[in-house]
Amino acid sequence: MSIIIRQARIIDPNGPHHLKTMDIFIEGGKITEIKKNCTAKAGKTIEADNLCVSAGWIDLQAVFCDPGHEHKETIESGIKAAAAGGFTGVCVHSANAPTLSSKAQIEYVKNKADGKVVNVYPLGTITQKQEGKDLAELYDMKQAGAIAFSDYKHSINTAGLLLRALQYSKNVDTFIMTHCNEESLSHGGQMNEGETAIKLGLKGIPAVAEEISLAQQLAVLEYAGGKLHVSAISTKGSTELIRKAKAAGLNVTAGVTALHLFKTDSELEEFDSNYKVLPPLRTKKDVDALRKAVENGTIDVIVSDHQPQDVESKELEFDLADEGAIQLQTAFSCALAGLKDEQIDALITALTQGPRRVLGLEPVSVEEGQNAELTLFSVKDSFTLTEKNNKSLSKNSPFFNTALPGKVIGIINGGKSYFNS
Number of H helices, E strands in the chain: 13, 18
Domain of 17? 3-52+369-419
380-413 tens-digit pLDDT: 999 999 999 999 999 999 999 999 999 999 999 9
User: Around 79, how many Cα atoms within 13 Å sit in the side-chain half-sphere?
Assistant: 20
- 395 and 281, same structural domain? no
Q: Across residues 267-275, what is the average pLDDT?
A: 97
Q: What is the pTM of this model?
A: 0.97
Q: Which of 307, 325, 359 is the last residue of a domain?
A: 359
pLDDT > 90? residue 182: yes
- 393 and 335, same structural domain? no
Task: Examine residue 136 and state whether it is found in any structural domain, yes or no.
Answer: yes
Q: Across residues 21-30, what is the average pLDDT?
A: 97
Instruction: Give the distance, in angstroms, between the CA of residue 381 and the centroid of all CA atoms in the same chain.
Output: 22
- 44 and 137, same structural domain? no
- 61 and 40, same structural domain? no
Planar angle of CA 209, 175, 87, nearest 5 degrees: 85
Task: Examine residue 202 and state whether it is found in any structural domain, yes or no.
Answer: yes
Contacts of 415-420 with C-beta under 8 Å, sequence gap 24+, read 415/1, 415/28, 415/29, 416/116, 416/117, 417/3, 417/44, 417/117, 418/83, 418/84, 418/117, 419/46, 419/376, 420/84, 420/389
47 three-state secondary structure: coil
**Residue 421: which pLDDT band, with cuts at 50, 70 and 90?**
confident
Contact 403, 81 (CB under 8 A): no
47-88 tens-digit pLDDT: 999 999 999 999 999 999 999 999 999 999 999 999 999 999
Q: Which residues are catalytic?
A: 305
| Cβ neighbours, 10 Å, residue 419 | 15
- 311 and 415, same structural domain? no
C-alpha distances out from residue 395 to 167, 280, 318, 401, Å: 40, 19, 17, 12
Task: Examine residue 364 and state whether it is found in any structural domain, yes or no.
Answer: no
Q: What is the CATH number of the domain that holds 296?
A: 3.20.20.140
- 61 and 44, same structural domain? no
Q: Across residues 18-31, what is the average pLDDT?
A: 97
Task: Examine residue 266 and state whether it is found in any structural domain, yes or no.
Answer: yes
- 290 and 158, same structural domain? yes
**Residue 261: which pLDDT band, with cuts at 50, 70 and 90?**
very high
- 47 and 117, same structural domain? no
User: Beta-strand (E) ranges in 67-169?
Assistant: 87-93, 119-124, 148-150
Residues 6+ apart with CB under 8 A from 320: none
- 40 and 87, same structural domain? no
Both ends of the chain: CA-CA distance in Å? 19
pLDDT > 90? residue 162: yes
130-140 tens-digit pLDDT: 999 999 999 99
C-alpha distances out from residue 64 to 4, 30, 132, 379, Å: 32, 29, 22, 28
- 350 and 328, same structural domain? yes
pLDDT at 96: 87
Q: Which of 315, 339, 359 is the last residue of a domain?
A: 359
Contact 264, 309 (CB under 8 A): no
Mean of all residue pLDDT scores within the chain: 97
Rg, C-alpha atoms of the chain: 21
Q: What is the CATH number of the domain that holds 413?
A: 2.30.40.10
Planar angle of CA 258, 261, 265, nearest 5 degrees: 110
Q: Which of 359, 379, 397 is the last residue of a domain?
A: 359
- 34 and 13, same structural domain? yes
193-246 tens-digit pLDDT: 999 999 999 999 999 999 999 999 999 999 999 999 999 999 999 999 999 999
- 285 and 402, same structural domain? no
Q: How many domains does the chain have?
A: 2
pLDDT at 31: 97
DSSP state of 122: E
pLDDT at 225: 97
